[in-house]
Amino acid sequence: MTAMGRVDLIEEAPQTHDMQPTVLYAGTFDPLTNGHIEVVRHAARLAGRLVIAIGVHAGKVPLFTPEERLAMIEEICGAIVREAGCEFACITFDDLAVAAARRVGATIMIRGLRDGTDLDYEMQLAGMNAAMAPDVQTVFLPASPMVRPITATLVRQIASMGGDVSAFVPASIAQRLKDKFIAKLAT
């Protein structure tokens, strides 16, 4: 209180992108699903800059090329992230996700959780990442009931058998899946 008996409030500095963290969201995104998109929406609210990192590993044979996945993520997620007032980047990496996080200056790695099985696995990863990079914190975002059962593996399996995946992926990605499997049948 001041001598006049009034309380002077100290105003907080406005948040700027410089004060908000760079956040990395890593995955294979083969294909990008509505579950991934939900994580991106939430992560964009936590970040000044959101970097989506597509893992490219020799041991995995993805349905979509890295370039196709980059295009899908830019098309769908770029607008979502920018609308949230967040800077956006999409990269590929072929090493540890925590190493990619350090390269882009991320202090937070986002991981989506669908269930207890995911939690057990992600806790192990978070512990190992913390040992390798104590300056990078893992933040878990729980999936809503609507997207909880969605996995990219199941989406690919359903699409490969001619099933309708429109409830699990955006329309443009459902069409890309359809086109991809029609092309595979033609060869």
Domains by residue range for the chain, with CATH: 22-145 (3.40.50.620)
Q: Tell me how long the chain is.
A: 187
**pLDDT value, residue 59:** 85
Q: Are 38 and 145 in contact (CB under 8 A)?
A: no
Mean pLDDT, to the nearest integer, of 110-128? 96
187 band by pLDDT with thresholds 50, 70 and 90: low
Span 30-52, average pLDDT: 98
Rounded CA-CA distance 40/149 in Å is: 17
**Mean predicted confidence (pLDDT) in 165-186:** 92
Checking if the pLDDT of 153 tops 70, the result is yes
Residue-level pLDDT at 4:
46
